[in-house]
Structure 1
Amino acid sequence: MNKAFARNFYSSPSSVGNKFRAKRIKPLTDAIKQIYQKKGGVSILDVGGKIRYWDIIDKDFLLYCKVKIVILNIPGENLDDDTEICTHTTGDACDMQYYNDNHFYIVHSNSVIEHVGNWSKMKSFASEVRRVGKYLFVQTPNFWFPIEPHYMTPFFHWLPRYTRISLILKHTLGNRGQADDLNDAMEKLEGQPRMINYACFCLLFPDCTIIKEKFLFVTKSFIALRMAQL
């Protein structure tokens, strides 16, 4: 599937993906209201996020609730300019020793945990976001959903390794560029997101309520929610 399809399906303001994000955000906006009413302001850590993501929440609402968002990405990422709501920093979400326990009222992460690496890294990521935040909102795509959300290709993540290599050598899939050669294909595949299933997600977030997000009766993604103890 080409980049235009991927953009129309997932990235553009009118896309299916953006509509899902707008719908799933309600528990987060409810938490912002609750925290603002009790504390008079809301600190949020957005792990691995982008500033444009927050366009799905009305800016006036964020300003009214005195929301301050810190967007954390790994060193080397292209960072957006800071705004009156969002500031940017770099670091390792699997080891956030620079933040105290419950440092933020809310820790938010959208489609990030599948990018951090192996199972050990995922456990570290989950442990750290649970540690530094009071309220938790963590989303990840479901391994058993038939469309791979990064390559926007049906069944891609279920195919044998060398079949996937062959595909990315011959085609541009989703927002991922076609591989230049075999070495490039191997490296791209090595960095491929590692999606997880429901049981693994529950294991990573044992103190959270796990919501199954559906698309045509099939679970598209999971959301871990933990309410803030204020």
Structure 2
Amino acid sequence: MSRAGIGGTVRRRLVESPGSLGEQARSRRAALVRDLFPDLADMDVIDLGGRTSTWAAAPVRPRSVLVINLEQQPELPEEDWLRVEHGDACELPTQVRGRAFDVVFSNSVLEHVGGHDRRQRFAESVHTLAPRHWVQTPYRYFPVEPHWLFPGMQFLPLAARSRIARHWPLVHTRPDDDRGAVRDALGVELSSITELRYYFPGSQIHKERIGGLIKSIVAVKP
């Protein structure tokens, strides 16, 4: 088996396959969502940067879900409660602005929007769209960078991060060239608890842990 094949197998066992650490974390997260939003089945939800497949497989089906994503998502015509709009969560589509929802959800998106100004606009979208929210993002100071599964990668210079993105066998999607590796490395900026509190003042900050260490942080207004 090639190095890439071995890396993919290891990655699946760690974060993607049933029973993996990633799957266990997602199960705990789903249980916390049910506890914090017991009326989710009666709510109109907007998911900033999410995926239709996540909601189609969710254990609780909200009254309605609108997914906003820059990446094209598959339409699910048989699911009239689940819709998708192509758009930027930091610059909401015209047809979404001014609409009201019960809750905003976002999982592992804030670290990808790009820079302080964009994170601020993302937070403003969250505050504008609904009185309640759940915004999760990986924690900057967890010792293993979660996208590449490389220890301490988030603290390295860009040149080193781009080399890891290009050659590390546990990468999820390998870039085609060095320029793509730099793009991918620039596309992830992990947040601290202080930063999350700044963007979401008055929200509860939940800490998701693995082995006693904080892995992800969540700004919640239930």
User: TM-score category by the smaller chain?
Assistant: 0.7 to 0.9
SS at match of 1:33: coil
Q: Distance in 2 between matches of 1:23 and 1:117?
A: 28
Under a length normalisation based on structure 1, what TM-score does the superposition of the two structures give? 0.83
Note the residue ranges of structure 2 that are not aligned, 5 or more in a row.
1-5
Determine if the alignment matches structure 1 residue 78 to structure 2 residue 72.
yes
- 1:52, CA displacement in angstroms? 2.9
Matched residues in 2 for 1:107 and 1:199: separation?
21
What is the distance in 2 between the residues matched to 1:35 and 1:143?
29
- Please give the root-mean-square deviation of Cα atoms over the aligned residues, in Å: 2.3
The TM-score, its normalising length taken from structure 2, stands at 0.85
**Could you tell me how far apart the structure 2 residues matched to 1:112 and 1:106 are?**
16
Partner of 2:211: 216
Q: For each residue in 1:57-90, what CA deviation from the matched residue of structure 2 results, as whole angstroms up to 9, or x when unmatched? A: 32xx42xxx521111101xx23123224421111
Write the letter of the residue equivalent to 1:47: L
State whether structure 2 residue 15 is matched by structure 1 residue 15: no
Say how many residue pairs are matched.
214
Shift of 1:210: 0.6
Which aligned pairs between 1:12-91 and structure 2 lie closer than 5 A?
12-30=17-35, 32-34=37-39, 41-54=42-55, 57-58=58-59, 61-62=60-61, 67-74=63-70, 77-82=71-76, 83-91=79-87
Q: CA–CA distance in 1 between the matches of 2:68 and 2:26?
A: 19
Q: Which stretch shows the higher mean deviation, 118-127 or 77-86? A: 77-86
Write out the 4+ residue segments of structure 1 that deviate beyond 4 Å after TM superposition. none
* Contact 1:152/1:174 (8 A) holds in 2: yes
- Give, as a single letter, the amino acid of the residue that structure 2 aligns with 1:28: V
The answer as to whether partners of 1:103 and 1:132 remain within 8 angstroms in 2 is yes
Partner of 1:125: 122
Check the 8 A contact 1:210/1:223 in 2, yes or no: yes
Question: Is 2:92 aligned against 1:92?
Answer: no
Q: What pairs with 1:197-212 in structure 2 (closer than 5 Å)?
A: 197-212=192-207
Are the aligned partners of 1:10 and 1:18 in contact in 2 as well (CA < 8 Å)?
Answer: yes
| Shift in Å, 1:54 | 2.9
Instruction: Please state how far the C-alpha of 1:47 moved relative to its aligned partner.
Output: 1.1
In structure 2, distance between residues paired with 1:158 and 1:217: 21
Residue identity opposite 2:192 in structure 1: N
CA shift for structure 1 position 13: 3.6
CA contact (8 A) 1:93 1:125 kept: yes
CA distance 1:155–1:56, change in 2 (3 Å): farther
Query: Using the alignment, how far apart are the partners of 2:40 and 2:158 within structure 1?
Result: 46
Deviation at 1:10, TM superposition (A): 1.8
After superposition, give the CA deviation of every residue in 1:174-202 in whole Å (9 maximum; x if it has no partner): 2031x4443333333233x1101111111
CA distance in 2, matches of 1:209, 1:68: 25
Percent identity for Structure 1 against Structure 2:
27
Q: Following the alignment from structure 1 to structure 2, what is the Cα–Cα distance between the partners of residues 147 and 55?
A: 30
What is residue 153 of structure 1 aligned with on the other side?
A: 150
Q: What letter matches 2:64 in structure 1?
A: K
Cα pair 1:101 1:133 within 8 Å, conserved: no
Unpaired runs of 5+ residues, structure 1, are: none
Whether the aligned pair in 2 keeps the contact of 1:45 and 1:106 (CA below 8 Å) is yes
Query: Would you say the 8 A contact 1:102–1:134 is kept in 2?
Result: no
Give distance in 2, aligned partners of 1:169 and 1:128.
Answer: 33
